[in-house]
Structure 1
């Protein structure tokens, strides 16, 4: 926004004598971004009493209210519009609706739109439509956006690229991805803004696979993605562990096509760390001439995910020395890093510093991290006490952290309390029911198992199938539990049989959970997906090559032990990224040190 002119400059000008001259000055001020002065001029017009505001005066005053986010003043202007009989003027009506949208008064905007439908005609154009939907940013706003979309089709403006892009962006911001997708593929023409909006929409809603599909489609059409699109692509590579695609994007960026872009550098740090290449993430970080809080958060979080809490702590302390003030996000990263590395006292120290040294009120996510921190250390009573003393009501994530800690330390009584609390917040989350059922199974409490399964049936809950995937020669190979659909199925199962024979010689079978084996036989469950992924990797990669597996759920204890022993008998390194962290398996050991 341009700097407003001094108030005295208005008083030094001659008072306009006609409506046109008032409107001309008002328009010029609004165009220059002098919104405060524009509203002061409008007030002078009202006080002068002659002439009265006309229909073509109101849009500039309403635009100024919208720019300054002054909905109450805008509502007063609305009453002036009604008094002047200008509410049916399409330009005034558009300005009113746009003002309410931008001030987040969507209900008012929709009421106006429904009660005073704009007439199809020459007065309605792309500029008119573009003013209607920018304020639609949350799911409930999509209904108003859909009304505008219908009107766009009625006006024949649906083929206008700028209008279609505006509608697409609106649907994405409202989380209506299916509507955005339909609009995208119905568009006769797509510009770079269109592709960016769709990629960003997929990425923001966690739809990583469609992002990469769209990226490949752009490439096949010869469309060069810009930094906005590439940030979304890198984020999706990070979510999927798609190292090959991420490397390709990194090469595009490093070619210098985009110059030095801080957002892309931060995205590259995150992508490499989450795809298992922590050394490359650190190299990018160290080479950056300018590091923002986002840069520090990304690298600290990366070391935390890989269980290297000591280095994460060193980086956090170094960041503080550079004078960068931490925010809530970086505290989540360092608390999580301490939890994954078993640095309990260090993590508690950081938690206490949030409010005392930095004036940050710990939120639910910070409390969840500390509950996890205490729980993993076996300090369950302290974790429970922290929850009960929280200044805000704990949510499902906080109680879920306590439930997970109870599973590690086999505290069924406290687990029952946590379970009953957590399902009040997240009754649909199947993971909590499975966790509680497994605890009852370990405690040989079959009545408890029955109760949980009855609850699951009554709520029509089904366990999420475990899946793992491996990237090989640019393609992602997906494996489900008991999968037999892959072309190399027979070779993979023969490989697993050989591996089981080798690890049994090291005592694997005796160390596994007999109750789990019985349950898997009874329920017809097959080989866990991560074992299939490991077998595929061993069959298709050269000796000494690291194998990266991405898994959607937390790795179970039996598979964790199995992969540790396999890493020893075949002399290979495996990296498993499960739902909570990275596990680096080498020489019969895991980097997590049993903190997972």
Structure 2
């Protein structure tokens, strides 16, 4: 009986093994301790919980439940059948569990994502002196550095922390917990580091946003360890080059890929396509894409489409999209999103909306990124109807309360002149968000639509609710002060930046204040403030010069024009504005001198332009 059932299970004939056992059981043939582990394995493979429970019942009746190997097999079967409570119950009832049963339970729980249960099993039998396999397995269950540190201490106590298997697992754990200093220390201590150790450390560094260190570790691997990189290594290193836009290093890595004959590995090839695209070399990316013909998957196609869009090659991206469909591949959400966001970023808003309509017709659900790419396109085209359709979709899919989506919706409604709709989106949050971005969208919209008093009220509400304004907030409110001529309010806001929020005014804030003072006729005050700006731009001088013309101040106008000409000697605007000031004051000789100077320098006034929209 033992050999027949065991052989059938070994040959993958699981149903036949169970049928044979049923026949033997009907004939009252006695089983032995080798019968049940094979039968339990068959139940697990067949995903047959009913048969598994029947076998378990027979085990209890025949008294084989106390056998360590049978109990371990029962635990393993229940884990494979996703009956985790039953598995844990059987395991805890094992009188004297050994390392084999420990490892079965831990690995079973981990494979099914039950990290806490795996840790619970580990703590139950820690006195057994767990093996390196046990420690390494349970390290992947650590969701906090606290648990990881405890296991690290146990590994040190057992003297296995430098063994490659445990050390590699410790490196992975510390990287997952963003403890890069600890990961580096453990990595340096690991004896006989292999390619798996390097891959664990390199991929962990990449996930934690330190691509430069990835390249340093790769150099160390190549220079001192003698380990040969594999496809996993190359994918991480190429991705680091992509993030850093290190074309030269990326090309060297490409050379190594060719040397080790990994150029036709689809994942390595896709990583190279992405790297060359991000480095601005779309032609090289396209060459690799063509070399992968026959093995390309949808990820490769999406990467190439994104690469074309990011390099301004939208027509090539459209051709690839059509070719993808002709080769029998179905564009997924990422493909459609690449087209929509690409067109939006290139300012081709009509095409972005057309592809959105096509995506809807294809029955593909738009992603969050698609929606946030489309809303600015609707704003640019004043396509209120399309914007409302997208808003309706966000309500139906219950993502309308996402702060990023809400900010884009507020911006779209404001740019379409629908401030009441924008306010409804903002007011859906009973507890106002602390993110200044959504407040800024509302403030900017009210300012753009001339609702200045409402903008001031929103800013006051923002301050009252202790939302931390950022630099953009102050830029918006200072611009509103400038358009309403509220000088004292402007000074109050300007001083508030540093005094209350420790924000240093930028060039834009100084420009707004100079513009505000200039518009209000406080030209000397504006000139004094301008002197305090470190390296003032030409635009701020041009703004003050325009104010000098409005208030017919030729003396200050001459000083400002001189400064502006130092920054932009080929710009005729300062001469034109000075001419207007002199003409308004009847200083015809000075006007003539300015015109002669313009002729001598071969400068001409820019002609005016008119634009007529035809519908």
Query: Normalising TM by the smaller chain, what interval?
Result: 0.5 to 0.7
Asked if structure 2 preserves the Cα contact closer than 8 Å seen for 1:371 and 1:401, the reply is: yes
Cα pair distance change 1:29/1:44, threshold 3 Å: closer
Alignment match, 2:524:
none
Aligned length: 463
Alignment match, 1:77:
87
Matches within 5 A, 1:344-423: 344-357=349-362, 359-379=363-383, 383=387, 386-387=390-391, 389-390=393-394, 391-394=397-400, 395-401=402-408
Asked if structure 2 preserves the Cα contact closer than 8 Å seen for 1:120 and 1:154, the reply is: no
Q: Does 1:92 align with 2:108?
A: no
Alignment match, 2:246:
242
Counterpart pick for 2:133 among 111, 127, 130? 127
Deviations 1:409-446 (A, max 9, x none): 99999999989999966738899733443334444378
Structure 2 residues without counterparts, runs of 5 or longer: 1-9, 441-469, 507-526, 538-567, 572-615
Counterpart pick for 2:302 among 288, 294, 297? 297
Q: Does 1:159 align with 2:162?
A: yes
Matches within 5 A, 1:544-583: none
Counterpart CA distance in 1 for 2:497 and 2:95 is 61
Cα pair distance change 1:404/1:64, threshold 3 Å: farther
Cα displacement (A) at 1:196: 0.8
Alignment match, 1:437:
474
Counterpart pick for 1:312 among 294, 304, 317? 317
Counterpart pick for 1:339 among 344, 364, 385? 344
Counterpart CA distance in 1 for 2:98 and 2:186 is 30
Counterpart CA distance in 1 for 2:533 and 2:325 is 53
Q: Does 1:275 align with 2:282?
A: no
Alignment match, 1:57:
70
Alignment match, 2:608:
none
Cα displacement (A) at 1:268: 0.7
Where 1:34 maps in the other structure, the secondary structure is helix
Counterpart pick for 2:335 among 322, 330, 350? 330
Bigger radius of gyration: 2
Counterpart CA distance in 2 for 1:415 and 1:526 is 36
Counterpart CA distance in 2 for 1:424 and 1:430 is 10
Alignment match, 2:188:
185
Deviations 1:331-363 (A, max 9, x none): 221111111233323322322333432x43223
Cα pair distance change 1:295/1:90, threshold 3 Å: closer
Alignment match, 1:504:
none
Name the structure with the higher strand share: 1
Asked if structure 1 preserves the Cα contact closer than 8 Å seen for 2:375 and 2:387, the reply is: yes
Structure 1 residues without counterparts, runs of 5 or longer: 465-516, 528-561, 566-596
User: Which deviates more, 420-429 or 370-379?
Assistant: 420-429
Matches within 5 A, 1:206-217: 206-217=209-220
Alignment match, 1:427:
435
User: Which deviates more, 452-461 or 330-339?
Assistant: 452-461
Alignment match, 1:530:
none
TM-score, length basis structure 2: 0.64
Deviations 1:87-142 (A, max 9, x none): x655434433333333222233334444x251154xx3223334424455xxx355
Where 1:307 maps in the other structure, the secondary structure is coil
Counterpart CA distance in 1 for 2:408 and 2:491 is 21
Asked if structure 2 preserves the Cα contact closer than 8 Å seen for 1:102 and 1:135, the reply is: no
Counterpart CA distance in 2 for 1:295 and 1:157 is 42
Alignment match, 1:44:
55
Asked if structure 2 preserves the Cα contact closer than 8 Å seen for 1:339 and 1:369, the reply is: yes
Alignment match, 2:118:
109
Name the structure with the higher helix share: 2
Counterpart CA distance in 2 for 1:265 and 1:452 is 53
Cα pair distance change 1:240/1:60, threshold 3 Å: same
Counterpart pick for 1:201 among 196, 200, 204? 204
Counterpart CA distance in 2 for 1:463 and 1:287 is 53
Where 1:245 maps in the other structure, the secondary structure is helix
Cα displacement (A) at 1:62: 3.0
Cα displacement (A) at 1:288: 2.2
Counterpart CA distance in 1 for 2:406 and 2:184 is 36
Considering only aligned residues, what root-mean-square deviation do their CA atoms show, in Å? 4.4
Alignment match, 1:260:
264
Where 1:257 maps in the other structure, the secondary structure is coil
Cα displacement (A) at 1:388: 5.9
Cα pair distance change 1:20/1:173, threshold 3 Å: farther
